[in-house]
């Protein structure tokens, strides 16, 4: 397995059984609009066209909402490739899994008109997942990657390559997976405790129609960790989290995300800022940040206490 995805089949998986029986996965976002003319020219051109269509249909929505819809559509319609593993959550706390076998198809007049053919193989229970995979799978995003959990998913789905023993697959991925788990735990902790942080006094994690959409917000260079907005709605904040020591390469990474926000999400009168959060910095990142006045660095501290039982 190379790439694994979660693709939600309607709100709370209400369309999952129908799509599984028909041999598809599908999404909506812009209803009956054929996306075929916008495929094959890269994600940037696709997103630009999809954002315009979305805003034409929903003129009262924000550019952030439009960018979210366009990002999900891109991954579902073209970013996911044939041969990738997909999971579809169902209302009974099980996950159907299968392999993508076809390109984009347009099915007007249906609840999920933007579809890909899938060879659905089987299912497993949420109770079989590790806590880290269950946490990742619980994201409210419609389409998102689960590739960091590929070794565990190979075991759950029994779709590992017979020529490569599962122990070898796990060994090859364990370091990256552990790093991902630590950053994911940091991200989840920050999101859950946002209101009690210094950032939470100045910014809110971005929501749309009362739903949080600012965690793992999709961009054309990968998902950014957290997208927040200032209390007065004038500044968008890109938050990049790193476990341990941050390297100077993260400055270029957050600048790419900020460039995406600047070009596609800002409303008139808004600006974009960035913050890198890590446990430690060094001279190289301090030098790099000295030339980036709209990016700041913050440290997190992990504390562990033992108390005598009374």
**Tokens found for residue 18:** 């129908």
What predicted TM-score, i.e. pTM, was given to this entire model? 0.81
Rounded to an integer, the average pLDDT of 79-93 is 94
153-191 pLDDT tens trace:
988 998 755 444 444 444 444 444 444 456 667 788 888
Contacts of residues 249-255 at CB distance under 8 Å and 24 or more positions apart, as own/partner, are 250/276, 250/278, 250/285, 251/276, 251/285, 251/288, 251/289, 251/292, 251/295, 254/295, 255/292, 255/295
Alpha-carbon separation of residue 249 from 223, 242, 255, 284, 309 (angstroms): 17, 11, 10, 9, 46
**Tokens found for residue 189:** 């902790």
Give the length of the chain: 310
Amino acid 166: pLDDT: 41
| Three-class DSSP category at 199 | coil
Domains of the chain as residue ranges with CATH = 4-173 (3.10.590), 193-299 (3.40.1350.10)
Q: Angle at which helices 249-264 and 43-57 pack, to 10 degrees?
A: 40
256-284 pLDDT tens trace:
999 999 999 999 999 999 999 988 888 98
Q: Pairing between strand 85-89 and 143-145?
A: unpaired
pLDDT of 23 above 50? yes
Cβ neighbour number for residue 255 with a 10 Å cutoff? 18
């Amino acid at each position: 397995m190379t790439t694994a995805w979660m693709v939600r089949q309607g709100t709370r998986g209400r369309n999952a059984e129908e799509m599984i029986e028909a041999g598809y996965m599908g999404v909506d976002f812009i209803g009956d609009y054929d996306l075929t003319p916008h495929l094959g020219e890269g994600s940037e051109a696709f997103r630009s066209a999809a954002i315009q269509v979305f805003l034409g249909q929903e003129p009262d929505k924000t550019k952030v909402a439009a960018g979210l819809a366009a990002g999900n559509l891109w991954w579902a319609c073209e970013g996911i490739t044939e041969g990738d593993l997909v999971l579809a959550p169902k209302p009974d706390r099980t996950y159907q899994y299968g392999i993508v076998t076809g390109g984009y198809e347009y099915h007007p007049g249906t609840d999920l008109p933007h579809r890909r053919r899938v060879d659905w193989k089987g299912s497993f229970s949420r109770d079989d997942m590790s806590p880290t995979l269950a946490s990742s799978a619980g994201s409210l995003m419609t389409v998102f990657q689960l590739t960091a959990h590929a070794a565990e998913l190979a075991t759950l789905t029994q779709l590992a390559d017979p020529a490569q023993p599962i122990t070898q697959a796990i060994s090859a991925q364990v370091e990256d997976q552990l790093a991902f788990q630590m950053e994911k735990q940091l991200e989840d902790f920050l999101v859950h405790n946002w209101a009690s942080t210094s950032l939470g006094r100045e910014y809110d994690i971005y929501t749309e129609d009362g739903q949080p959409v600012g965690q793992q917000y999709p961009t054309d260079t990968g998902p950014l960790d957290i997208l927040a907005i200032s209390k007065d709605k004038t500044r968008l904040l890109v938050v990049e989290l790193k476990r341990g020591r941050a390297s100077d390469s993260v400055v270029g990474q957050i600048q790419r995300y900020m460039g995406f926000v600047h070009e596609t999400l800002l409303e008139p009168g808004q600006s974009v800022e960035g913050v890198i959060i890590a446990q430690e910095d060094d001279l190289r990142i301090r030098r790099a940040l000295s030339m980036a006045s709209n990016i700041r660095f913050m440290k997190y501290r992990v504390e562990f206490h033992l108390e005598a039982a009374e």
